[in-house]
Protein backbone atom coordinates (compact mmCIF):
# COMPACT_ATOMS: atom_id res chain seq x y z
CA UNK A 1 0.00 0.00 0.00
CA UNK A 2 1.19 3.50 -0.88
CA UNK A 3 -0.09 6.43 1.15
CA UNK A 4 0.00 9.98 -0.16
CA UNK A 5 -1.04 13.03 1.81
CA UNK A 6 -3.12 15.91 0.58
CA UNK A 7 -2.31 18.97 2.67
CA UNK A 8 -4.52 22.05 2.72
CA UNK A 9 -4.44 25.07 5.01
CA UNK A 10 -7.31 23.71 7.12
CA UNK A 11 -7.06 19.97 6.71
CA UNK A 12 -4.95 17.06 5.62
CA UNK A 13 -6.01 13.62 4.52
CA UNK A 14 -4.49 10.35 3.33
CA UNK A 15 -4.91 8.75 -0.08
CA UNK A 16 -4.26 5.02 0.19
CA UNK A 17 -3.44 3.20 -3.06
CA UNK A 18 -2.95 -0.53 -3.51
CA UNK A 19 -4.41 -3.87 -4.50
CA UNK A 20 -6.85 -5.57 -2.12
CA UNK A 21 -7.55 -2.60 0.12
CA UNK A 22 -11.34 -3.00 0.14
CA UNK A 23 -11.15 -5.68 2.80
CA UNK A 24 -9.04 -3.39 4.94
CA UNK A 25 -11.43 -0.45 4.62
CA UNK A 26 -12.74 -0.68 8.19
CA UNK A 27 -9.30 -0.77 9.74
CA UNK A 28 -8.12 2.17 7.60
CA UNK A 29 -11.23 4.26 8.15
CA UNK A 30 -11.89 3.71 11.83
CA UNK A 31 -9.27 6.23 13.02
CA UNK A 32 -10.70 9.08 10.94
CA UNK A 33 -14.42 8.71 11.72
CA UNK A 34 -15.73 11.01 14.47
CA UNK A 35 -18.42 8.45 15.29
CA UNK A 36 -18.56 4.71 14.45
CA UNK A 37 -21.59 5.14 12.15
CA UNK A 38 -21.67 5.48 8.42
CA UNK A 39 -24.00 5.60 5.47
CA UNK A 40 -22.55 3.83 2.44
CA UNK A 41 -23.72 5.40 -0.80
CA UNK A 42 -23.36 3.29 -3.92
CA UNK A 43 -25.27 2.40 -7.07
CA UNK A 44 -27.06 -0.59 -8.52
CA UNK A 45 -24.09 -1.66 -10.66
CA UNK A 46 -21.44 -1.44 -7.95
CA UNK A 47 -23.53 -2.71 -5.04
CA UNK A 48 -23.77 -6.36 -6.22
CA UNK A 49 -20.02 -6.37 -6.86
CA UNK A 50 -18.53 -4.79 -3.74
CA UNK A 51 -21.05 -3.59 -1.18
CA UNK A 52 -21.11 -6.74 0.96
CA UNK A 53 -17.33 -6.77 1.27
CA UNK A 54 -17.21 -3.13 2.31
CA UNK A 55 -20.00 -3.67 4.83
CA UNK A 56 -18.21 -6.68 6.28
CA UNK A 57 -14.96 -4.81 6.61
CA UNK A 58 -16.60 -1.85 8.34
CA UNK A 59 -18.59 -4.12 10.64
CA UNK A 60 -15.41 -5.95 11.63
CA UNK A 61 -13.94 -2.60 12.65
CA UNK A 62 -16.97 -1.83 14.82
CA UNK A 63 -18.53 0.66 12.41
CA UNK A 64 -22.30 0.48 12.20
CA UNK A 65 -23.51 0.99 8.63
CA UNK A 66 -26.53 1.53 6.45
CA UNK A 67 -26.47 1.61 2.68
CA UNK A 68 -28.36 3.47 0.01
CA UNK A 69 -28.25 2.18 -3.55
CA UNK A 70 -28.76 4.87 -6.20
CA UNK A 71 -29.77 4.32 -9.80
CA UNK A 72 -26.63 4.16 -11.95
CA UNK A 73 -25.54 6.80 -14.39
CA UNK A 74 -24.66 10.42 -15.11
CA UNK A 75 -28.31 11.09 -15.96
CA UNK A 76 -29.12 10.50 -12.29
CA UNK A 77 -26.57 12.98 -11.01
CA UNK A 78 -29.40 15.29 -10.07
CA UNK A 79 -31.46 16.67 -7.19
CA UNK A 80 -33.93 13.83 -7.21
CA UNK A 81 -31.22 11.25 -6.69
CA UNK A 82 -29.38 13.42 -4.17
CA UNK A 83 -32.57 13.46 -2.14
CA UNK A 84 -32.43 9.67 -1.86
CA UNK A 85 -29.23 10.16 0.13
CA UNK A 86 -30.88 12.74 2.39
CA UNK A 87 -33.88 10.45 2.85
CA UNK A 88 -31.57 7.62 3.92
CA UNK A 89 -29.78 9.92 6.37
CA UNK A 90 -33.08 11.02 7.87
CA UNK A 91 -34.26 7.44 8.00
CA UNK A 92 -31.20 6.24 9.93
CA UNK A 93 -31.40 9.32 12.17
CA UNK A 94 -27.94 10.28 11.10
CA UNK A 95 -26.23 13.01 13.03
CA UNK A 96 -23.84 15.74 12.02
CA UNK A 97 -20.92 13.41 12.78
CA UNK A 98 -22.20 10.41 10.85
CA UNK A 99 -19.85 9.68 7.96
CA UNK A 100 -20.93 9.21 4.36
CA UNK A 101 -18.91 6.68 2.38
CA UNK A 102 -18.94 6.89 -1.41
CA UNK A 103 -18.50 3.47 -3.03
CA UNK A 104 -18.55 4.00 -6.77
CA UNK A 105 -17.26 6.05 -9.65
CA UNK A 106 -17.21 9.79 -10.05
CA UNK A 107 -20.97 10.11 -10.16
CA UNK A 108 -21.46 8.43 -6.78
CA UNK A 109 -18.41 10.25 -5.40
CA UNK A 110 -19.55 13.70 -6.53
CA UNK A 111 -23.07 13.19 -5.24
CA UNK A 112 -22.00 11.67 -1.94
CA UNK A 113 -19.51 14.47 -1.38
CA UNK A 114 -22.12 17.10 -2.15
CA UNK A 115 -24.63 15.40 0.13
CA UNK A 116 -22.01 15.35 2.90
CA UNK A 117 -21.24 19.04 2.32
CA UNK A 118 -24.93 19.88 2.76
CA UNK A 119 -26.03 17.41 5.41
CA UNK A 120 -26.58 19.51 8.51
CA UNK A 121 -24.24 22.03 6.86
CA UNK A 122 -21.32 19.66 6.66
CA UNK A 123 -20.73 16.01 7.57
CA UNK A 124 -17.56 13.91 7.17
CA UNK A 125 -17.15 11.69 4.14
CA UNK A 126 -14.81 9.09 2.70
CA UNK A 127 -14.13 8.17 -0.91
CA UNK A 128 -13.83 4.56 -2.07
CA UNK A 129 -13.48 5.15 -5.82
CA UNK A 130 -14.25 2.17 -8.02
CA UNK A 131 -13.49 3.53 -11.50
CA UNK A 132 -10.11 4.55 -12.81
CA UNK A 133 -11.39 8.07 -13.43
CA UNK A 134 -12.53 8.36 -9.85
CA UNK A 135 -9.25 6.93 -8.51
CA UNK A 136 -7.05 9.32 -10.47
CA UNK A 137 -9.23 12.38 -10.44
CA UNK A 138 -12.68 12.86 -9.00
CA UNK A 139 -12.16 11.29 -5.56
CA UNK A 140 -9.23 13.57 -4.77
CA UNK A 141 -9.46 17.31 -4.19
CA UNK A 142 -12.92 17.95 -2.83
CA UNK A 143 -14.87 19.13 -5.83
CA UNK A 144 -18.41 17.84 -5.47
CA UNK A 145 -21.49 18.58 -7.54
CA UNK A 146 -24.68 17.59 -9.24
CA UNK A 147 -25.84 18.62 -12.70
CA UNK A 148 -28.50 21.13 -13.66
CA UNK A 149 -30.51 20.02 -16.71
CA UNK A 150 -28.85 22.96 -18.51
CA UNK A 151 -25.31 22.54 -17.25
CA UNK A 152 -22.90 20.02 -15.82
CA UNK A 153 -21.72 20.32 -12.22
CA UNK A 154 -23.49 23.66 -11.92
CA UNK A 155 -24.55 23.02 -8.33
CA UNK A 156 -21.97 21.86 -5.83
CA UNK A 157 -19.45 22.59 -3.14
CA UNK A 158 -15.81 22.33 -2.27
CA UNK A 159 -15.82 19.70 0.44
CA UNK A 160 -12.84 17.51 1.26
CA UNK A 161 -13.05 13.81 2.17
CA UNK A 162 -11.43 12.49 5.34
CA UNK A 163 -9.74 9.70 3.43
CA UNK A 164 -9.49 8.22 -0.06
CA UNK A 165 -9.07 4.50 -0.53
CA UNK A 166 -8.13 3.48 -4.07
CA UNK A 167 -8.13 -0.30 -4.51
CA UNK A 168 -7.03 -1.04 -8.05
CA UNK A 169 -8.39 -4.60 -7.75
CA UNK A 170 -11.85 -3.05 -8.08
CA UNK A 171 -10.92 -2.03 -11.61
CA UNK A 172 -10.90 -5.67 -12.72
CA UNK A 173 -14.64 -5.51 -13.30
CA UNK A 174 -14.61 -2.15 -15.06
CA UNK A 175 -15.99 -2.12 -18.63
CA UNK A 176 -13.19 -1.44 -21.15
CA UNK A 177 -14.71 1.85 -22.26
CA UNK A 178 -14.62 3.09 -18.67
CA UNK A 179 -10.99 2.06 -18.28
CA UNK A 180 -10.09 4.07 -21.36
CA UNK A 181 -12.06 7.06 -20.14
CA UNK A 182 -10.03 7.04 -16.94
CA UNK A 183 -6.80 6.91 -18.90
CA UNK A 184 -7.73 10.20 -20.57
CA UNK A 185 -7.44 11.92 -17.21
CA UNK A 186 -4.18 10.07 -16.48
CA UNK A 187 -2.64 11.35 -19.70
CA UNK A 188 -3.89 14.84 -18.87
CA UNK A 189 -1.50 14.94 -15.89
CA UNK A 190 1.41 14.13 -18.16
CA UNK A 191 0.36 16.79 -20.63
CA UNK A 192 -0.10 19.60 -18.14
CA UNK A 193 2.83 18.92 -15.86
CA UNK A 194 5.12 15.93 -16.38
CA UNK A 195 6.62 15.14 -19.76
CA UNK A 196 8.42 12.11 -18.32
CA UNK A 197 5.14 10.66 -17.12
CA UNK A 198 3.66 11.25 -20.57
CA UNK A 199 6.58 9.25 -22.03
CA UNK A 200 5.90 6.51 -19.46
CA UNK A 201 2.22 6.44 -20.48
CA UNK A 202 3.22 5.99 -24.12
CA UNK A 203 5.50 3.10 -23.18
CA UNK A 204 2.93 1.49 -20.85
CA UNK A 205 -0.25 2.02 -22.86
CA UNK A 206 -0.60 -1.68 -23.60
CA UNK A 207 0.14 -2.70 -20.00
CA UNK A 208 -2.44 -0.22 -18.75
CA UNK A 209 -5.04 -1.57 -21.17
CA UNK A 210 -4.20 -5.10 -19.94
CA UNK A 211 -4.81 -3.86 -16.36
CA UNK A 212 -1.34 -4.80 -15.25
CA UNK A 213 -1.30 -4.15 -11.50
CA UNK A 214 2.08 -2.44 -11.35
CA UNK A 215 1.24 -0.17 -14.25
CA UNK A 216 -2.13 0.77 -12.77
CA UNK A 217 -0.67 1.44 -9.35
CA UNK A 218 1.96 3.71 -10.84
CA UNK A 219 -0.60 5.54 -12.98
CA UNK A 220 -2.93 6.10 -10.02
CA UNK A 221 -0.06 7.10 -7.77
CA UNK A 222 1.49 9.63 -10.12
CA UNK A 223 -1.93 11.09 -10.98
CA UNK A 224 -2.90 11.46 -7.33
CA UNK A 225 0.51 12.95 -6.48
CA UNK A 226 0.08 15.60 -9.13
CA UNK A 227 -3.52 16.30 -8.25
CA UNK A 228 -2.74 16.51 -4.52
CA UNK A 229 0.12 18.87 -5.25
CA UNK A 230 -1.98 21.17 -7.41
CA UNK A 231 -4.99 21.14 -5.10
CA UNK A 232 -2.69 21.75 -2.14
CA UNK A 233 -1.56 24.96 -3.83
CA UNK A 234 -5.02 26.10 -4.89
CA UNK A 235 -7.99 24.40 -3.28
CA UNK A 236 -10.67 26.75 -4.60
CA UNK A 237 -9.46 27.00 -8.18
CA UNK A 238 -8.39 30.60 -8.20
CA UNK A 239 -5.19 29.85 -10.11
CA UNK A 240 -3.12 26.79 -10.93
CA UNK A 241 -5.95 24.31 -10.30
CA UNK A 242 -7.57 25.56 -13.48
CA UNK A 243 -4.90 23.64 -15.42
CA UNK A 244 -6.69 20.44 -14.44
CA UNK A 245 -9.45 21.61 -16.74
CA UNK A 246 -7.35 20.98 -19.83
CA UNK A 247 -9.77 19.69 -22.46
CA UNK A 248 -12.74 20.22 -20.19
CA UNK A 249 -14.27 23.35 -21.73
CA UNK A 250 -14.52 21.53 -25.04
CA UNK A 251 -15.32 18.28 -23.25
CA UNK A 252 -18.24 19.71 -21.31
CA UNK A 253 -19.65 21.16 -24.52
CA UNK A 254 -19.50 17.70 -26.07
CA UNK A 255 -21.19 16.10 -23.08
CA UNK A 256 -23.93 18.73 -22.96
CA UNK A 257 -24.30 19.00 -26.73
CA UNK A 258 -24.82 15.28 -27.22
CA UNK A 259 -26.82 14.95 -24.01
CA UNK A 260 -25.21 13.85 -20.75
CA UNK A 261 -24.21 10.22 -20.77
CA UNK A 262 -23.92 9.69 -24.53
CA UNK A 263 -20.18 10.16 -24.41
CA UNK A 264 -18.35 9.30 -21.22
CA UNK A 265 -16.74 12.21 -19.40
CA UNK A 266 -13.24 10.88 -20.07
CA UNK A 267 -14.04 10.35 -23.75
CA UNK A 268 -15.23 13.93 -24.06
CA UNK A 269 -12.12 15.10 -22.25
CA UNK A 270 -9.92 13.09 -24.63
CA UNK A 271 -11.42 14.71 -27.70
CA UNK A 272 -11.39 18.02 -25.84
CA UNK A 273 -7.68 17.72 -25.08
CA UNK A 274 -6.98 17.29 -28.76
CA UNK A 275 -9.00 20.41 -29.55
CA UNK A 276 -7.10 22.29 -26.83
CA UNK A 277 -3.84 21.03 -28.31
CA UNK A 278 -4.98 22.14 -31.76
CA UNK A 279 -5.83 25.55 -30.31
CA UNK A 280 -2.32 25.64 -28.85
CA UNK A 281 -0.97 24.82 -32.30
CA UNK A 282 -3.02 27.67 -33.80
CA UNK A 283 -1.46 29.98 -31.21
CA UNK A 284 2.01 28.68 -32.03
CA UNK A 285 2.49 26.79 -28.80
CA UNK A 286 2.40 23.20 -29.98
CA UNK A 287 4.17 21.49 -32.85
CA UNK A 288 2.59 19.14 -35.37
CA UNK A 289 4.75 16.34 -33.94
CA UNK A 290 3.38 16.91 -30.45
CA UNK A 291 -0.18 16.90 -31.73
CA UNK A 292 0.53 13.58 -33.42
CA UNK A 293 1.92 12.07 -30.22
CA UNK A 294 -1.18 13.04 -28.25
CA UNK A 295 -3.49 11.70 -30.93
CA UNK A 296 -1.53 8.44 -31.13
CA UNK A 297 -1.59 7.87 -27.38
CA UNK A 298 -5.34 8.46 -27.15
CA UNK A 299 -5.94 6.16 -30.11
CA UNK A 300 -3.73 3.47 -28.53
CA UNK A 301 -6.17 3.19 -25.64
CA UNK A 302 -9.29 3.35 -27.81
CA UNK A 303 -10.19 6.93 -26.92
CA UNK A 304 -11.97 9.10 -29.49
CA UNK A 305 -9.67 11.38 -31.47
CA UNK A 306 -12.43 13.23 -33.29
CA UNK A 307 -15.00 15.43 -31.56
CA UNK A 308 -18.57 15.36 -32.82
CA UNK A 309 -19.47 18.20 -35.17
CA UNK A 310 -21.79 20.29 -33.02
CA UNK A 311 -21.68 23.30 -35.36
CA UNK A 312 -19.93 26.55 -34.51
CA UNK A 313 -22.94 28.26 -32.94
CA UNK A 314 -23.74 25.32 -30.71
CA UNK A 315 -20.10 25.01 -29.64
CA UNK A 316 -19.89 28.66 -28.68
CA UNK A 317 -23.21 28.72 -26.91
CA UNK A 318 -22.43 25.52 -25.01
CA UNK A 319 -19.06 26.89 -23.97
CA UNK A 320 -20.62 30.22 -22.98
CA UNK A 321 -22.51 28.34 -20.30
CA UNK A 322 -19.30 26.93 -18.98
CA UNK A 323 -18.00 27.87 -15.56
CA UNK A 324 -14.60 28.85 -16.91
CA UNK A 325 -16.06 31.97 -18.47
CA UNK A 326 -14.89 35.25 -17.01
CA UNK A 327 -16.69 38.47 -17.89
CA UNK A 328 -17.69 37.20 -21.30
CA UNK A 329 -14.16 36.30 -22.45
CA UNK A 330 -13.59 32.71 -23.51
CA UNK A 331 -10.91 31.15 -21.34
CA UNK A 332 -9.13 27.97 -22.31
CA UNK A 333 -6.41 25.88 -20.80
CA UNK A 334 -3.91 25.20 -23.57
CA UNK A 335 -0.85 22.96 -23.54
CA UNK A 336 2.56 24.49 -24.18
CA UNK A 337 4.18 21.52 -25.83
CA UNK A 338 3.99 18.36 -23.72
CA UNK A 339 4.43 18.64 -19.93
CA UNK A 340 3.34 22.25 -19.53
CA UNK A 341 0.10 24.20 -19.88
CA UNK A 342 -1.30 27.62 -19.17
CA UNK A 343 -4.61 29.46 -19.04
CA UNK A 344 -5.32 31.66 -22.02
CA UNK A 345 -7.95 34.13 -20.91
CA UNK A 346 -8.87 35.91 -24.11
CA UNK A 347 -8.70 33.45 -26.96
CA UNK A 348 -8.88 34.85 -30.47
CA UNK A 349 -12.25 34.00 -31.94
CA UNK A 350 -10.80 33.18 -35.37
CA UNK A 351 -8.29 30.71 -33.98
CA UNK A 352 -11.10 29.07 -32.05
CA UNK A 353 -13.28 28.91 -35.14
CA UNK A 354 -10.44 27.23 -37.08
CA UNK A 355 -10.16 24.59 -34.35
CA UNK A 356 -13.90 23.98 -34.31
CA UNK A 357 -13.87 23.46 -38.06
CA UNK A 358 -10.52 21.70 -38.06
CA UNK A 359 -9.01 18.25 -38.33
CA UNK A 360 -10.12 16.98 -34.92
CA UNK A 361 -13.81 17.46 -35.65
CA UNK A 362 -15.58 14.42 -37.11
CA UNK A 363 -16.72 14.80 -40.72
**Residues in binding site for Zn(2+):** 185, 248, 265
Q: What are phi and psi of 21, to 5 degrees?
A: -80, -20
User: Does residue 80 sit in helix, strand or coil?
Assistant: helix
Q: Which residue is nearest to ligand NAD (CB)?
A: 106
Active site residue 245: yes
**Cα 233 to Cα 271: distance, rounded to the nearest angstrom:** 28
x-or-dash pattern for ligand NAD, window 255-284, by CB under 6 A?
----------xx------------------
**Cα 215 to Cα 344: distance, rounded to the nearest angstrom:** 33
Could you say which of 16, 37, 222, 227 is catalytic?
227
Closer to a second copy at the Cβ: 71 or 196?
A: 71
CB of residue 266 vs ligand NAD: minimum separation in angstroms?
6
**Residues in region 170-199 near ligand NAD by CB under 6 A:** 170, 173-174, 178, 181
CB of residue 118 vs a second copy: minimum separation in angstroms?
5
Q: Quote the strand ranges of 138-270, DSSP E.
A: 143-148, 151-158, 163-167
Contacts of 328 (CB under 8 A, 6+ apart): none
Could you say which of 245, 255, 290, 295 is catalytic?
245
CB of residue 91 vs a second copy: minimum separation in angstroms?
8
CB of residue 325 vs ligand NAD: minimum separation in angstroms?
18
Closer to a second copy at the Cβ: 172 or 326?
A: 326
Cα dihedral sign, 309-314-318-324: positive
Q: Are 131 and 178 in contact (CB under 8 A)?
A: yes
**Cα 17 to Cα 135: distance, rounded to the nearest angstrom:** 9
Q: Which of 22, 29, 46, 351 binds ligand NAD (CB under 6 A)?
A: 46
Query: How many other CB atoms are there within 10 angstroms of residue 48's CB atom?
Result: 10
User: Does residue 78 sit in helix, strand or coil?
Assistant: coil
CB of residue 219 vs ligand NAD: minimum separation in angstroms?
15
177 binds a second copy (CB under 8 A): no
Q: Are 212 and 298 in contact (CB under 8 A)?
A: no
316 binds a second copy (CB under 8 A): no
**Cα 288 to Cα 217: distance, rounded to the nearest angstrom:** 32
Torsion of CA 338, 340, 342, 348, to 10 degrees: -20
Q: Are 192 and 242 in contact (CB under 8 A)?
A: no
- Could you tell which of a second copy, ligand NAD, none binds residue 39, using a CB distance below 5 to 8 A set by kind? none
**Cα 197 to Cα 80: distance, rounded to the nearest angstrom:** 40
- Could you tell which of ligand NAD, a second copy, none binds residue 101, using a CB distance below 5 to 8 A set by kind? none
Interacting residues toward ligand NAD by CB under 6 A: 43, 45-46, 49, 72, 74, 77, 104-108, 110, 130-131, 133-134, 137-138, 141, 143, 153, 170, 173-174, 178, 181, 265-266
Interacting residues toward a second copy by CB under 8 A: 35, 79, 83, 86-87, 90, 93, 95-97, 117-122, 143-145, 148, 150-151, 154-158, 236, 320-321, 323, 325-327
Amino acid sequence: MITLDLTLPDCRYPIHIGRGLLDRAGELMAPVLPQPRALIVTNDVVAPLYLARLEASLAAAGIQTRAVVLPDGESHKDWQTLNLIFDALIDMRAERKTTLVALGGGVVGDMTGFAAACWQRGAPFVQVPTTLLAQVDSSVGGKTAINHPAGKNMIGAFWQPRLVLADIALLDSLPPRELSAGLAEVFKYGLIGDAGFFDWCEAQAAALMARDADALIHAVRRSCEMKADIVGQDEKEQGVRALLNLGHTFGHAIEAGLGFGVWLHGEAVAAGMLLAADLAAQLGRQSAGELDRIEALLAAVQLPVRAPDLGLDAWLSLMGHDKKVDGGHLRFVVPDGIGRASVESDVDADALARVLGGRFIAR
